[in-house]
Structure 1
């Protein structure tokens, strides 16, 4: 006698996993839907501008559409406006890139920023005295952004760093300082969303280890990152405090690991960084 299996006896099949959805910059604009004061067209233009990078200095409308998540029509209108105003252009009529006039935007920031204006001469004085490279950065989202920088010829890194450059906070000394002094709720939000990509074999790639490293930064008052961003690159950073006691920026020293031992960084250079941070903090009062 054959047994008939009832529907309820049939093993339920496991639901297939939904494909991962790649978040695009344009998707973030949905949060402002219904806000009458939010200029969506301006936001779209800024998204297009930020899509151009050192790795992708020129792109077609289609490529920009894919990268930003904006429609081709929206990208075309943004590029048309930017081209008319002299901020972008296309040499061959199809591949667009930014134009030198875009530098006026960054100049407007550095010229109007007390922090950036005050930091540059301090860094230049240290660089002239110590013959090393120094930088000042602030936190923007999950990245650090360079707002002042000096370099010496012997410091060579794979990434071309300059004012406006961005690097991930989790694997840089300046990022560790800025993360360590975040309000607890902000830090937890960051740790919940950050993707800890190994840049080298030394990069911290677990939240527990990163949390421990940040706790150590608060304990010692500085961050030392040894070849986690790039092999051969070692860096040291300290916080810059506003009069309110809030950490608003960070100063760092970077150099080749073989010629810059950890002990030297902690004993010879750390006092200079702390003095510079204190000096810069005075300008914020």
Structure 2
């Protein structure tokens, strides 16, 4: 979002501080001051002030040359997880799904053009692919991402850049209720996903199951994994409706104010 159209309340320094935190990732777990400045398009002086502030707050540590995030950064993500009942509600169903399919399962939400994994349960086997909480992927390249894109309001979806092929696929997903991605995100990986709906029928998340192509053909994913996924999502939807209904009639709800 260009600076010229920022709202009057916007705090640019806060945005820059978050950019510094996000500049560290799996490929860059440690960075020099110059690398942080370059990655965030900041001057060295500005980057230094932000890094030292984050260090004072306990989110960054340094050996004098390289800066690294500290485990305290996990508190920022935990605040989201702790404030949402969805991950806690979904986790037992994902455990059953992993046990039944023998494959990994994730709960994902849409964030801009990315899909973010908020619950991840790996398959119980050696050399199983592992995706961690907070992992981001381009939404259009993943099964869960396509499920979420397919259920966006028409106006919002039309405003996003897309190819005719993808639009046709999203229309199919919306009609059939699931997405299958066949080695598009990563060679050797097939994944299938279905939407999670709240009590009003709005799609709030997606659940995906990932399988190695050597173990499951695309047809086997549809035949063997998809029915178990859809059954799990039905149970999640039921639990979510009950939870939402209980919240609506609780003493602290707006209905009782």
The two structures share one fold, judged by TM-score above 0.5: yes
Contact 1:135/1:252, CA 8 A, preserved across alignment: yes
The structure 1 residue matched to 2:5, chosen from 17, 22, 31, is: 31
Aligned partner of 1:283 in structure 2 is: 240
Q: Offset of 1:75 from its aligned partner?
A: 1.6
The structure 2 residue matched to 1:79, chosen from 41, 45, 51, is: 51
Mapping of residues 233-248 of structure 1, within 5 Å = 233-248=189-204
Q: Quick check: 1:210 aligned with 2:166?
A: yes
Q: Distance in 2 between matches of 1:154 and 1:211?
A: 37
Aligned-CA RMSD value? 1.8
Q: Distance in 1 between matches of 2:142 and 2:207?
A: 12
Q: Distance in 1 between matches of 2:2 and 2:20?
A: 14
Deviations 1:128-161 (CA, angstroms, capped at 9, x unpaired): 233211011000010000010100234644xx52
Q: Number of residues paired by the alignment?
A: 240
Mapping of residues 74-153 of structure 1, within 5 Å = 74-91=46-63, 93-152=64-123, 153=125
Q: Distance in 2 between matches of 1:95 and 1:28?
A: 31
Deviations 1:69-110 (CA, angstroms, capped at 9, x unpaired): 22322221211111011111112x122110111112222221
Q: Offset of 1:278 from its aligned partner?
A: 2.3
Aligned partner of 1:188 in structure 2 is: 158
Aligned partner of 1:162 in structure 2 is: 132
Q: 1:76 to 1:161 in 2, by over 3 A?
A: same
Q: Distance in 1 between matches of 2:171 and 2:137?
A: 21
Structure 1 alignment gaps of length 5 or more: 1-26, 193-206
Contact 2:189/2:212, CA 8 A, preserved across alignment: yes
Q: 1:29 to 1:89 in 2, by over 3 A?
A: farther
Deviations 1:5-54 (CA, angstroms, capped at 9, x unpaired): xxxxxxxxxxxxxxxxxxxxxx7454326x1x322222221111111111
Deviations 1:160-200 (CA, angstroms, capped at 9, x unpaired): 521100001111111111111111221122226xxxxxxxx
Q: Quick check: 1:263 aligned with 2:219?
A: yes
TM-score (norm: length of structure 1):
0.79
Q: State the SS of the aligned residue for 1:59.
A: strand
Q: State the SS of the aligned residue for 2:195.
A: strand
Q: 1:31 to 1:90 in 2, by over 3 A?
A: farther
TM-score (norm: length of structure 2):
0.87
Q: 1:29 to 1:71 in 2, by over 3 A?
A: farther
**Which is worse superposed, 54-63 or 168-177?**
54-63
Q: Distance in 1 between matches of 2:127 and 2:224?
A: 18
Q: Distance in 2 between matches of 1:268 and 1:172?
A: 19
Q: 1:233 to 1:70 in 2, by over 3 A?
A: same
Structure 2 alignment gaps of length 5 or more: 245-257
Aligned partner of 1:46 in structure 2 is: 18
Aligned partner of 1:179 in structure 2 is: 149
The structure 2 residue matched to 1:224, chosen from 177, 180, 184, is: 180
Q: State the SS of the aligned residue for 1:250.
A: strand
